[in-house]
């Protein structure tokens, strides 16, 4: 029993629960943003999808990357390189998760299924297998995978993939350089040891910082376009723009005085910069549906 518990905990660790929780927030936030009823069955299906699809794809990514993880100090204690979980055990668990994810997605609609399969393709084939080890522009492909939970959440509520849902997915897509490149700069020695090019132009702080600010501008524009098209989310657009502006200022300061410590601080600021959008937009939608008292 103790051994089974240990294996289970190791497999859960393989799914990166904190990362999965953030992406599940984008999925639930996008679903609620459609204005769809808070149906308990649908919410349960999304919970299953969040764990099996997001966690399963992440675990499969770590299955293929176990050799890289074993070379990096930060990741050498993960379940696979540390030997707490075998490759066969992890692949068995991942297969069960992804089969369940596909089945549950198919009971929602074909658009949610598309988002699940697209996330799997762009993460495992496009990012992990074709670009991660060869080019620092791997984020161009990997970010598509990261945006699929938001697109899937919108499709679950709207019953289709429409422009507002694409804009919410674009918010996640444009946010990811802030999350990835500054962590990569902080862990530059580790990534160089594994020969993985994770930041463009050989970790040139000036170049990838400028690209990050451009992506943040796209992120802000996407939030405002969503608000304009749907006539909701203006408060979220305003407050998220303040967070994006603060992030941009920190990135600009980093260019003038790059350091590992500041890169780590920017990386930590990235999560609330994204979360604020997918918390406030659905809250505004819910608030707009509360009937006003008639006097």
Tally Cβ neighbours within 10 Å of residue 153.
33
293: left (phi over 0), alpha (psi -120 to 50) or beta: beta
Q: Please give the backbone phi and psi of residue 168, each rounded to the nearest 5 degrees, phi first.
A: -65, -40
How far is 246 from 169, CA to CA, in rounded Å? 22
258: left (phi over 0), alpha (psi -120 to 50) or beta: beta
Q: Tell me, yes or no, whether 14 lies in a domain.
A: yes
CA angle 76, 79, 84 (to 5 degrees): 115
Rg (CA), the chain: 19
Closest to 30 measured CA to CA, from 244, 180, 173: 173
**DSSP state at residue 124:** I
State the pLDDT at residue 202.
Answer: 87
Residues in contact with 215: Cβ distance below 8 Å, sequence separation at least 6, in sequence order: 174, 175, 176, 177, 178
Number of domains the chain is built from = 1
The total number of residues written for the chain in this structure:
295
Q: pLDDT digit of tens for each residue in the chain (295 aa)?
A: 666 678 889 999 999 999 999 999 999 999 999 999 999 999 999 999 999 999 999 999 999 999 999 999 989 999 999 999 999 999 999 999 999 999 999 999 999 999 999 999 999 999 999 999 999 889 999 999 999 999 999 999 999 999 999 999 999 999 999 999 999 999 999 999 999 999 888 899 999 999 999 999 999 999 999 999 999 999 999 999 999 999 999 999 999 999 999 999 999 999 999 999 999 999 999 988 765 455 5
How far is 235 from 277, CA to CA, in rounded Å? 10
State which residues form the domain around 68. Answer: 10-288
Q: Tell me, yes or no, whether 4 lies in a domain.
A: no
Q: Tell me, yes or no, whether 223 lies in a domain.
A: yes
State the pLDDT at residue 15.
Answer: 95
State the pLDDT at residue 290.
Answer: 67
State the pLDDT at residue 295.
Answer: 55
Q: Tell me, yes or no, whether 293 lies in a domain.
A: no
Q: Residue 205 corresponds to which tokens in the numbers above?
A: 């702080």
Q: Tell me, yes or no, whether 146 lies in a domain.
A: yes
Token pair 């764990």 is found at 51
Q: Tell me, yes or no, whether 5 lies in a domain.
A: no
Q: Tell me, yes or no, whether 203 lies in a domain.
A: yes
Token pair 């990261």 is found at 146
Tally Cβ neighbours within 10 Å of residue 150.
31
**DSSP state at residue 1:** -
State the pLDDT at residue 6.
Answer: 84
Helix (H, G, I), strand (E, B) or coil at 290: coil
CATH number, position 211: 1.10.357.140
How far is 235 from 227, CA to CA, in rounded Å? 9
Tally Cβ neighbours within 10 Å of residue 206.
12
Q: Tell me, yes or no, whether 1 lies in a domain.
A: no
Q: Residue 122 corresponds to which tokens in the numbers above?
A: 């762009």
State the pLDDT at residue 5.
Answer: 79
> Within 13 Å and on the Cβ side, how many CA atoms surround 10?
21
């Amino acid at each position: 029993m103790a051994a089974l518990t240990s294996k289970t905990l190791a497999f859960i660790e393989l799914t990166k629960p904190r990362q999965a929780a953030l992406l599940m927030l984008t999925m639930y936030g996008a679903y609620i943003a459609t204005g769809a009823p808070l149906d308990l069955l649908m919410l349960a299906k999304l919970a299953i999808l969040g764990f099996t699809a997001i966690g399963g794809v992440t675990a499969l990514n770590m299955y293929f990357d176990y050799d890289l993880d074993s070379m990096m100090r930060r990741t050498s204690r993960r379940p696979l390189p540390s030997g707490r979980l075998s490759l066969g055990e992890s692949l068995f668990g991942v297969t069960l998760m992804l089969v369940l994810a596909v089945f549950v997605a198919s009971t929602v609609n074909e658009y949610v299924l598309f988002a699940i399969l697209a996330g799997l393709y762009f993460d495992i084939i496009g990012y992990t297998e074709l670009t991660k080890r060869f080019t620092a522009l791997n984020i161009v492909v990997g970010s598509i995978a990261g945006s699929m939970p938001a697109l899937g959440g919108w499709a679950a509520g709207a019953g289709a993939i429409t422009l507002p849902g694409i804009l919410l997915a674009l918010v996640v897509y444009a946010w990811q350089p802030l999350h990835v490149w500054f962590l990569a700069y902080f862990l530059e020695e580790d990534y160089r040891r594994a020969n993985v090019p994770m930041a463009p132009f050989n970790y040139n702080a000036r170049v990838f910082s400028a690209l990050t600010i451009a992506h943040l501008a796209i992120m802000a524009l996407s939030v405002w376009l969503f608000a304009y098209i749907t006539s909701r989310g203006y408060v979220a657009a305003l407050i998220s723009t303040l967070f994006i502006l603060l992030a941009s200022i920190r990135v600009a300061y980093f260019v003038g005085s790059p350091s590992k410590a500041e890169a780590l601080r920017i990386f930590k600021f990235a999560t609330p910069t994204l979360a604020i959008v997918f918390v406030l937009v659905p809250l505004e939608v819910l608030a707009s549906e509360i009937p006003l008292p008639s006097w």
